[in-house]
Amino acid sequence: MTLSDEYYDYEMSIVQTDPETGKLSLSHITVDDPRLKKLQKLARSKRNKKPKNKELPKVVNITNRGKKFYDFEDVSWDVIRTNRTAKNLTQHEVATMAGLSKTVYQQYEIGRKRPTKKRILDICNVLDLRVKEHKGNTMRIGKKNCESIRSKRIAKGYNQKEFSKLVGIAQGSYCGFEKGNLVWNEKVLKKTCELLEIDYKDVTMNAR
């Protein structure tokens, strides 16, 4: 099922070319703009269609680690994705109603781009989801320990892509942790140590 021709015609009438990327975008339109509200109204018949699964989770948990941008594993993207597909909405449609480009939304949903809290709220508003924020811990374990984790992973025969799936995070995020470019979050580090049979206390002994 797709949205009406009227929806797409109106969408094309209000988009503009982004001067930085050269791509069509709705970034010039604010959330309370009447034009966006009209676009949402045109999509409402599909958006309000009841999902087959009535037990879908309606709360998106986000973990705040004192940073402006949220890492992929700090947001319940599985809840967002499940509700989007249950409502029979494409990434393009959700992006449009949230005032984003399709490309940016896709990158959020697969973990290649880190959203701000405002972007998360915009997306959840489109899908009628609530956001619950938690305070999380970060662990700076130093380059030497990161290299030790990398060596252990290789010794056990995992490449980064395989191992990041086992940990449950995006490959790009895991790569950043392992290289020491990103500060580890506690949950990911514990899972990594468990899978690689590394003593968590030894790794975090001098963590800041």
Tell me the residue ranges of DSSP E strands in 69-206: 130-135, 138-139, 184-185
**166 token code pair:** 């086992």
Instruction: Look up the pTM and report it.
Output: 0.56
**71 token code pair:** 């890492």
Instruction: Enumerate the H helices of 65-159 as residue ranges.
Output: 77-86, 91-97, 102-110, 117-126, 142-155
Q: What is the pLDDT of residue 53?
A: 52
**46 token code pair:** 């599909």
Question: How far is the C-alpha of 175 from the C-alpha of 158, rounded, in Å?
Answer: 13
Closest CA to 198 of 161, 146, 140: 146
Question: How far is the C-alpha of 63 from the C-alpha of 61, rounded, in Å?
Answer: 7
**173 token code pair:** 């995020």
CB atoms within 10 A of CB 160: 15
pLDDT digits (tens, 9 = 90+) for 116-150: 999 999 999 999 999 999 887 777 888 899 999 99
Q: Model confidence at 167, in pLDDT bands (50, 70, 90)?
A: confident
Give the Cα-Cα-Cα angle 130, 94, 165 (nearest 5 degrees). 75
pLDDT digits (tens, 9 = 90+) for 49-97: 554 556 889 999 998 877 888 888 889 999 999 999 999 899 999 999 9
- Chain-centroid distance of CA 130 in Å reads 15
Q: What is the pLDDT of residue 206?
A: 64
